């Protein structure tokens, strides 16, 4: 097994760090049927354990892989035989005008070419099959990992970058695997075989061959060194372009409303130009070195012809052998370039592998200790909870916060924007771990609960309604795929969505565009609430998701939830005092601190922040009424 394969499997000792290759050189080399795009990215070639991630995939396809490699072996043998047969045609057939010899060896050449073509075709099909299946499996696993991402991981890697990793980086790996089967064995076999056969043809001319090989090898090493650091920069530039496009598409209406086309164009132009510049910079070295290598090869051929003609004059060599020697020399140099390309692609793949590995090694969502929580009640307690976002400023978002609600109670959380209201929900859902304190659900620390079953107890209507492409029915049923049609309509009724759904062209079977583009903000919120209601979980969380509803509709939603058969615990995050005041308990948050907890009446008496919010929204005139 060769070094690249061993590196791929993480089995070989590290390649020397001193290998003077670099990130970023890119070249397209064509030699016969080889057409290889290569970029060198050998930043840490010694650190190859990352490549071990491909071991299971390689194992899965090893039979096809080795069949392809065997085809390459026979293909190379066929190639090697050609110049020697050609020399015999010239020296025995053409020179002596023996047509029978020309025809005999000509037919033999054709037969060998046909056999070589058969192996080349089979190898190509197998290489494509293995590399594409390999790539598809890897893409699947990366996506499966992204699905399991913890919130910390999601905060760390931008979605634009994740897309580049799922597409560009995995394509790079696929290209490498394909190239491995195309040329990995062929290049060394051709190179070694050609050297042996060339030396056997003429020792004197072999000196020129070695000289040219040394010069070309020198150019290859220098070009790699010069282009070492460039490739990962290209990948990050692609990330940036993806992010700019993605952000524009997410905010397209806002951009139009604000007429900010020019700024968006500028942003894209800057990212795009940066990508072009970095790609150019990664290619430019090769652009200069490729002609230099060709020049050296042609110089070598001219020297061979010169020395060959002198030797021929002395009767030391025949014309056919000179032609065969030149042919072997071209094969040796083409193989050298191919070997270089293997390293080029290897290092580029290494950079992509590091990026893929970062995804595969990202922290997964909390699993909990494996204990399930199949409770039917929804008692919740936060005890001295302190929390800071790992990707945030380091300052706590939630500070020593405590409160408790009993099962079946309604809690309203109110407070200025950015005070940490949604963060409480993320903590309860165990998206993040608390720094200090603990959260108890039905008396058990949520850290000891299986996260999936904890979340089964919670239905969430998020602040930003998220709808999927599909029908209205499918979108509501997403909350509970087992729900009957009747339960879906009941939930829609309670969420005050049935009215507008009935007015849609195909009622519950009406299609929603991507993200629910064909609905108003309030309609989206009501479908989102219906989806949460149909889950029938012991705890219902409404995260400021009635903000787009008018006061009358909102009151109807609230009443419907309160009148539900199985009275559940409801957590209602809101900015409106008119919504909060009907809750059993109200938590007033300010800058992550619990500054008030109690009923509306209690807080009006005791909590300055609450009084302030009340005065600003309802006004002092009504204070007496609500007091009563």
Ligand X SMILES: Nc1ncnc2c1ncn2[C@@H]1O[C@H](COP(=O)(O)OP(=O)(O)OP(=O)(O)O)[C@@H](O)[C@H]1O
Binding residues for ligand X, rule: CB under 6 A, are 155, 389, 391-392, 397, 415, 417-423, 463, 544
Report the C-alpha gap between 301 and 310 in whole angstroms. Answer: 14
Q: How far is the CB of 464 from ligand X (least distance, A)?
A: 10
**Of 346 and 432, which has the nearer Cβ to ligand X?**
432
Q: How far is the CB of 388 from ligand X (least distance, A)?
A: 9
Contacts of 8 (CB under 8 A, 6+ apart): 51, 54, 58, 180
- The dihedral built from the CA positions of residue 493, 485, 569 and 369, taken in this order, carries a sign that is negative
**Of 177 and 427, which has the nearer Cβ to ligand X?**
427
Q: How far is the CB of 247 from ligand X (least distance, A)?
A: 17
Report the C-alpha gap between 359 and 353 in whole angstroms. Answer: 10
**Of 121 and 392, which has the nearer Cβ to ligand X?**
392
**Which ranges of 42-158 does DSSP label H, i.e. alpha helix?**
55-60, 62-88, 99-148, 151-156
Q: How far is the CB of 572 from ligand X (least distance, A)?
A: 13
The CA distances from residue 313 to 38, 305, 310, 327, 381, in Å, are 43, 12, 5, 21, 101
Whose tokens are 């097994």? That residue is 1
**Of 423 and 528, which has the nearer Cβ to ligand X?**
423
**Of 397 and 475, which has the nearer Cβ to ligand X?**
397
Q: How far is the CB of 575 from ligand X (least distance, A)?
A: 6
**Of 191 and 412, which has the nearer Cβ to ligand X?**
412
**Of 202 and 397, which has the nearer Cβ to ligand X?**
397
- DSSP labels for 475-539? HHHTT-TT--HHHHHHHHHHTT-HHHHHTSTTGGGPEE-GGGTTS-HHHHHHHHHHHHHHT--SE
**Of 417 and 566, which has the nearer Cβ to ligand X?**
417
Tokens matching residue 596:
């008030």
Question: In angstroms, how far is CA 9 from the centroid of its own chain?
Answer: 22
Length of the chain: 628
Q: How far is the CB of 237 from ligand X (least distance, A)?
A: 25
Whose tokens are 């029915």? That residue is 473
Q: How far is the CB of 246 from ligand X (least distance, A)?
A: 18
Instruction: Give φ, ψ of 35 to 5 degrees.
Output: -140, 105
Q: How far is the CB of 544 from ligand X (least distance, A)?
A: 6
Report the C-alpha gap between 361 and 165 in whole angstroms. Answer: 14
Instruction: Give φ, ψ of 55 to 5 degrees.
Output: -50, -50
22: closest CA among 44, 4, 6? 44
Q: How far is the CB of 462 from ligand X (least distance, A)?
A: 10
Q: How far is the CB of 389 from ligand X (least distance, A)?
A: 3
DSSP H or E stretch at residue 182: helix 170-183
**Residue 467 DSSP symbol:** -
Angle between helices 319-360 and 170-183 (to 10 degrees): 150
Instruction: Give φ, ψ of 86 to 5 degrees.
Output: -60, -40
**Of 151 and 409, which has the nearer Cβ to ligand X?**
151
Question: In angstroms, how far is CA 411 from the centroid of its own chain?
Answer: 40
Cβ-contact 198, 321 below 8 angstroms: no
Q: How far is the CB of 426 from ligand X (least distance, A)?
A: 7
Q: How far is the CB of 385 from ligand X (least distance, A)?
A: 13
**Residue 38 DSSP symbol:** E
Tokens matching residue 97:
């005008």
Does residue 314 sit in helix, strand or coil?
coil
Q: How far is the CB of 592 from ligand X (least distance, A)?
A: 7
**Of 425 and 459, which has the nearer Cβ to ligand X?**
425
Residue 36 β-bridge partners: 29
**Of 340 and 419, which has the nearer Cβ to ligand X?**
419
**Of 498 and 543, which has the nearer Cβ to ligand X?**
543
Cβ-contact 40, 283 below 8 angstroms: no
Report the C-alpha gap between 81 and 527 in whole angstroms. Answer: 73
**Of 186 and 430, which has the nearer Cβ to ligand X?**
430
**Of 132 and 159, which has the nearer Cβ to ligand X?**
159
Question: How many CB atoms sit inside 10 A of residue 625's CB?
Answer: 8
Q: How far is the CB of 431 from ligand X (least distance, A)?
A: 9
């Amino acid at each position: 097994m060769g070094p690249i394969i061993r590196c791929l499997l993480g089995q070989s000792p590290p390649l020397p760090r001193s290998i003077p290759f670099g990130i970023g050189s890119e070249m397209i080399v064509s030699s016969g049927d080889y057409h290889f795009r290569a970029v060198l990215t050998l930043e840490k070639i010694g650190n190859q354990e990352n490549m071990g991630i491909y071991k299971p995939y390689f194992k899965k396809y090893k039979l096809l892989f080795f069949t392809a490699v065997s085809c390459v072996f026979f293909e190379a043998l066929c190639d090697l035989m050609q110049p020697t047969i050609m020399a015999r045609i010239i020296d025995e057939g053409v020179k002596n005008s023996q047509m029978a010899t020309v025809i005999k060896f000509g037919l033999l050449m054709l037969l060998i070419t046909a056999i070589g073509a058969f192996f080349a075709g089979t190898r190509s099909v197998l290489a494509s099959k293995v590399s594409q299946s390999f790539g598809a499996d890897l893409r699947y696993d990366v996506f499966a990992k992204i699905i399991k991402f913890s919130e910390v991981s999601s905060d760390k890697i931008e979605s634009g970058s994740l897309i580049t990793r799922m597409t560009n980086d995995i394509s790079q790996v696929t290209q490498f695997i394909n190239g491995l089967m195309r040329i990995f064995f062929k290049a060394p076999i051709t190179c070694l075989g050609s050297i042996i056969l060339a030396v056997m043809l003429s020792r004197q001319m072999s000196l020129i061959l070695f000289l040219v090989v040394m010069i070309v090898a020198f150019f290859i090493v220098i070009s790699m060194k010069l282009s070492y650091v460039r490739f990962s920069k290209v990948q990050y530039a692609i990330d940036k372009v993806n992010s700019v496009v993605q952000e524009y598409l997410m905010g397209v209406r806002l951009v139009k409303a604000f007429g900010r086309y020019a700024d968006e164009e500028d942003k894209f132009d800057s990212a795009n130009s940066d990508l072009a510049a970095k790609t150019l910079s990664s290619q430019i070295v090769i652009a200069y070195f490729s002609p230099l290598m060709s020049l050296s090869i042609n110089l070598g051929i001219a020297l061979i012809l010169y020395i060959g003609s002198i030797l021929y004059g002395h009767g030391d060599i025949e014309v056919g052998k000179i032609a065969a020697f030149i042919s072997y020399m071209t094969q040796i140099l083409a193989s050298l370039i191919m070997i270089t390309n293997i390293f080029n692609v290897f290092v580029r793949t290494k950079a992509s592998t590091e990026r893929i590995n970062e995804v595969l090694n990202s922290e997964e969502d909390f699993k909990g200790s494996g204990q399930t929580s199949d409770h039917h009640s929804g008692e919740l307690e936060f005890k001295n909870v302190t929390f800071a976002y790992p990707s945030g400023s380091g300052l706590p978002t939630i500070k020593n916060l405590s409160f408790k609600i009993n099962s079946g109670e309604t809690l309203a959380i109110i407070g200025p924007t950015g005070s940490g209201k949604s963060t409480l929900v993320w903590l309860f859902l165990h998206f993040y771990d608390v720094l200090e304190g603990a959260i108890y659900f039905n008396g058990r620390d949520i850290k000891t609960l299986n996260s999936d079953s904890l979340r089964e107890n919670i239905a969430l209507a998020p602040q930003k309604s998220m709808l999927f492409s599909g029908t209205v029915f499918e979108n509501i049923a997403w909350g509970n795929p087992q729900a009957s049609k009747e339960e879906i309509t009941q939930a829609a009724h309670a969420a005050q969505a049935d009215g507008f759904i009935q007015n849609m062209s195909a009622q519950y079977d009406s299609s929603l565009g991507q993200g629910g583009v064909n609905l108003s903000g309030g309609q989206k919120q009501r479908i989102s609430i219906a989806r949460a209601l149909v889950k029938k979980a012991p705890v219902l969380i409404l995260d400021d998701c009635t903000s787009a509803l008018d006061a009358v509709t909102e009151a109807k939603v609230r009443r419907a939830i309160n009148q539900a058969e199985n009275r559940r615990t409801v957590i209602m995050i809101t900015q409106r005092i008119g919504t909060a005041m009907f809750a059993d308990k109200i938590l007033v948050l300010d800058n992550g601190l619990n500054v008030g907890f109690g009923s509306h009446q209690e807080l009006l008496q005791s909590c300055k922040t609450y009084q302030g919010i009340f005065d600003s929204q309802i006004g002092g005139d009504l204070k007496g009424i609500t007091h009563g």
